[in-house]
């Protein structure tokens, strides 16, 4: 089967006739496991299988395998489905406090774009007032 490429949110549909006597049992596989995703509907009847991804998500991308089996053997075919979309934003919510004998630093990560840094305590025995700084992740502007 030919590779299928769609954008996130779009459907993917297959209507496949299956030959064999007696009628083969059909299973759709992804990464060696039977497909069980919530947004995927599979309808199997004798001699036909319908496969539909309702609203494609990037996680639905991969090499799908259709396996037809009856008492005389099995046959299979593969199709690669690629769901294109921008990566999701990384949003991290975490807070932790690091204490040393020199000072205590409280890091609060509020999103992938901004962080808040708070320090308080003493630095080498000198008084240190509380400071706050907002900047791009990875930057520290004091």
**Residue 29 belongs to domain with CATH number:** 2.60.40.10
CA angle 50–54–57, rounded 5-degree value: 120
- Do both 107 and 79 map to the same domain? no
Render pLDDT for 10-29 as a digit per residue (tens, 0 to 9): 999 999 999 999 999 999 99
Residue 9 falls inside a structural domain? yes
Residues 72, 103 within the same domain: no
CB-neighbour burial class of residue 26 (10 A; exposed 0-12, middle 13-18, buried 19+): buried
Judge whether 32 lies within some domain: yes
pTM of the model: 0.61
Per residue in 97-135, pLDDT (tens digit) is 444 444 444 444 443 343 334 444 444 443 433 344 344
13 and 68, same domain (yes or no) = yes
Distance separating alpha carbons of residues 99 and 118, to the nearest angstrom? 12
**Is 142 within the bounds of a domain?**
no
Q: Are residues 77 and 8 in the same domain?
A: yes
Tens of pLDDT, residues 28-59: 999 999 999 999 999 999 999 999 999 999 99
Same-domain pairing of 66 and 12: yes
Please give the Cα distance from 82 to 15 (Å, whole number). 18
Placement of tokens 């003493």 in the chain: 122
67: containing domain:
4-84
Count of structural domains, the chain: 2
The per-residue DSSP string of 24-49 comes to PEEEEEETTEE---TTEEEEEETTEE
Best CA proximity match to 65, nearest among 42, 31, 25: 31
Identify whether residues 38 and 68 lie together within a single domain. yes
Whether the CB-CB separation of 98 and 104 falls below 8 Å is answered with yes
Same domain? For 74 and 35 the reply is yes
**Which tokens sit at 107?**
């890091």
């Amino acid at each position: 089967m030919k590779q299928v490429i769609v954008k996130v949110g779009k459907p993917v549909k297959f209507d496949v006739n299956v030959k064999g006597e007696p009628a083969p049992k059909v299973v759709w596989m992804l990464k060696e496991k039977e497909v069980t995703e919530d947004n995927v509907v599979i309808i199997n009847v004798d001699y036909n299988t319908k496969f539909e991804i309702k609203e494609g998500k990037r996680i639905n991308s991969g090499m799908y395998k259709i396996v037809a089996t009856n008492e005389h053997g099995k046959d299979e075919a593969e199709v690669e489905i690629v769901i294109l979309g921008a990566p999701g934003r990384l949003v991290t919510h975490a807070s932790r406090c690091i204490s040393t004998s020199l000072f205590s630093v409280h890091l609060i990560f509020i999103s992938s774009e901004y962080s808040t840094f708070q320090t308080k305590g003493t630095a080498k025995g000198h008084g240190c007032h509380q400071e706050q700084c907002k900047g791009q992740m990875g930057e520290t502007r004091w």
